[in-house]
Amino acid sequence: MAPSLSHVDWILTTGRLLGLDQMVYGLAERLCDAGVPLMRLRLSMRTTHPLTEAESVLWEAGTGPIVQSDAPHGLESRPAYIGSPMAVIAETRAPLRRQLTAPLAPSDHLVLHELQDRGATDYFGMPLDFVVGAGGMVIFVSNAPNGFSDADIDLLSQIANALCPIAEAHGNHRLATAIATSYLGARTGQRVLDGQITRGNIETIEAAILFSDIRGWTALNATRPASEALAIANTYFEVMSEAVDTTDGEILKFMGDGVLALFPSDGSDQGRQNACRQAIAASHAAQGIATLAELPVPFGIGIHYGAVLYGNVGARTRIDFTILGQAVNIASRVESFCGRLSQTILVSDTVAAIADVPMQHVATHYLKGLETPMPLHTPGT
């Protein structure tokens, strides 16, 4: 007897509230319990992400936990994908069924040969057409002696149609998360996703502020091809990003050849000290990573600690999530002395006092906007 269509109801009620992997797992188990001879269930969809081109969730009978994987960019150029059943579905946007009970020809794609060698007898794939974006597909594979029945195919087709809007919703959420975290950072991006998107939605926080930029950027652009200068800048940004991320900070902005990073504090004595020490650790890490990456240009880092305004500013139709305040200006001005004092890292007297780590006094200078000169220090390693 054909399995009940309650599977579709489950997808549209309970399943859609689960994570994508748990929905696929739950659906596969339900289908097996209902007698559908399912060996593999795969849900795959294209993504918009700086690092990945496609996301897949794979369930296989008897293999334990579900597998979720991301495919890097360049998927279409890989031999394992070219001419594969998934490539055909993606190109034609039409269902594809291939029964695997008969011997395959050498010209058949390696994927089909591998599935047949593992006992697969039937392959059925359905495209998932999204309202916006490239869409995705769902693949069902059977290892029953006669493969899927006509009733199974009818049910799986209906299931694919029910999965489509659920998969699109998950894809849109992943897209929003990728955009927010890639352009704003993980911490700030999550605040935006949580709804803090109104102009003037600002709070005052305490933080260590790290400002860094490449020395001699103007001269570098004047003497090197634009493509080479861009490659150097990207390497420098990668260095700073890795250093800040590994010390629990967050890069708020790439500004020309500069980086603005934030190390928030809860305002307690311990929180202030942790924030300053994290910023200093990031600075040391950047030096080491730059050496390993063979970064061909020097850079400076300035660190200050203070209260900043953290939130949304801008015009009615163009908003930026940023930090503002005197502490940000001071961090930038501290960094501006790195070149003239031949130092890679300089910290304000405030940071030196709070961090309570070995410091070397380098010089005392007037900073623009301050009435008294500020002692500048470089931290020990």
The C-alpha atoms of residue 67 and residue 368 are separated, in whole angstroms, by: 56
Q: What would the two tokens of residue 99 be? A: 């029964």
Q: What is the pLDDT of residue 76?
A: 63
pLDDT, the chain, mean: 85
Query: Any idea which residue has 């694919």 for tokens?
Result: 160
What's the rounded mean pLDDT across residues 163-186?
76
What's the confidence (pLDDT) of residue 381?
A: 63
Which tens digit of pLDDT belongs to each residue from 127-161?
998 887 678 899 999 999 999 999 999 999 999 99
Q: What would the mean pLDDT of 34-41 be, rounded to a whole number? A: 93
- CA distances in angstroms from 221 to 27, 212, 255, 270, listed in the order given: 56, 18, 16, 43
71 pLDDT exceeds 80? Answer: no
**Would you state the pLDDT for residue 47?**
66
Q: With beta carbons less than 8 A apart as the criterion, state whether 338 and 345 touch.
A: yes
Among candidates 346, 354, 355, which has minimal Cα distance to 374? 346
Q: Identify the CA nearest to 70 among candidates 36, 23, 20, 110.
A: 20
Distance CA 128, CA 162 (A): 10
Average pLDDT over every residue of 28-49:
86
Confidence of residue 3 (pLDDT cuts 50, 70, 90): very low
The Cα–Cα gap between 100 and 98 comes to: 6
pLDDT given at position 4: 47
45 against 126, higher pLDDT: 126
Which is more confident, 49 or 361?
361
Of 142, 144, 30, 37, the C-alpha closest to 97 is 142
- In this prediction the pTM is 0.65
Q: Is 144 helix (H, G, I), strand (E, B) or coil?
A: coil
Question: 101-114: per-residue pLDDT in tens?
Answer: 999 998 889 899 99
Query: What is the per-residue pLDDT across 90-101, written as a single tens digit (0 to 9) for each?
Result: 888 999 999 999
